[in-house]
Structure 1
Amino acid sequence: MRLTVEVGRLKSESGEVTVTVYPSDPSRFLAPRGKLLRLRVPASAPTTEACFNLPKADIYAVAVYHDANGNHDFDRNAVGVPTEGYGFSNDAPSRFGVPSFDSARINVKSGENTIRVRMRYGK
């Protein structure tokens, strides 16, 4: 199974885009050490692409962030508001905190799969 993640609406080409794939266990979504796979790819505005070879056809979820300063951390301000761009599979809403696994879940089938994730930036 191959999953291509196209991350769009990047504001700049600085740093990297970190793309993380989570397995079908909702308790692992966005949890420390919960990831299945992660790639850090050079940012390419307006769209950056990452490709994964997945172990099987299954349900997954994807989270991305634009690590513009390249420090391998998702930076936030003093009150916890993200200062770097981010996004989720299905463009899952995150208006009042992180989205649920169910809102970000995708069905990866045998063969080639492509999803698009829209980068969001704070105001």
Structure 2
Amino acid sequence: MEARSVLIGMVFAGLAMAGTAHAQGAARALTDKECVGRKTATRLNVQVGALRSDAGNVVITVYPGDPSRFMAPRGKLARAKIKTSAPMSQACFFLPSPADAYAVVVYHDADGDGDLDRSPAGMPIEGYGFSNDAPTKFGAPSFDAVRFGVKPVGETTIRVKVRYPTK
């Protein structure tokens, strides 16, 4: 009986480790053809994690280093809308230069309507996130809270955790 318990424990431990390895290994290398923008020497890979479902799309927006363009109408540098693949989806972008700063905003458009749905009070009701996992209290974080640098040549990978509003 004790040997059986040990065997069952080993099986569950193996399954748990396999699940962890799958979750950690879920990110695959994206090809240049899958990247947004004209090919350059500077590439940004954005991994969006903590997605709750496969429903809808993940929208990833990259902003340039100019704080006045952050979340401004027509301020974006690039945007990708990809089919959601929970728990992690990703996209890559060719960047025009290894500027000192970029910013990323993501949202999980679970209903696929092309917008970040909001409550009557203006609060998001779909999942969202920012580079550096910048915290939000009342409104969007500042550009300084979300800005990050990239490698001058090659690929920089950032991870953004999606936050879902509490009901």
Q: Would you call these one fold, judging by a TM-score over 0.5?
A: yes
**Runs of 4+ in structure 1 displaced over 3 angstroms?**
none
For the aligned residues, what is the CA RMSD?
0.6
Partner of 1:104: 146
Q: Per-residue displacement from partner, 1:34-65 (whole Å, max 9, x unpaired)?
A: 10000000001000001001111011000000
Higher helix proportion: 2
Pair 1:67 & 2:109 matched: yes
TM value normalised by structure 1: 0.98
Rounded to whole Å, the distance in 1 between the matches of 2:91 and 2:51 is: 14
Larger radius of gyration: 2
TM value normalised by structure 2: 0.73
Task: Please report how far the alpha carbon of residue 108 of structure 1 lies from its aligned counterpart in structure 2 after TM superposition.
Answer: 1.1
Rounded to whole Å, the distance in 2 between the matches of 1:109 and 1:27 is: 23
Higher relative contact order (CA 8 A, sep 6+): 1
Pair 1:22 & 2:24 matched: no
Rounded to whole Å, the distance in 1 between the matches of 2:148 and 2:60 is: 15
Q: How does 1:82-97 map to 2 (within 5 A)?
A: 82-97=124-139
Task: Please report how far the alpha carbon of residue 73 of structure 1 lies from its aligned counterpart in structure 2 after TM superposition.
Answer: 0.6
AA partner of residue 63 (structure 1): V
AA partner of residue 98 (structure 1): A
Pair 1:117 & 2:160 matched: yes
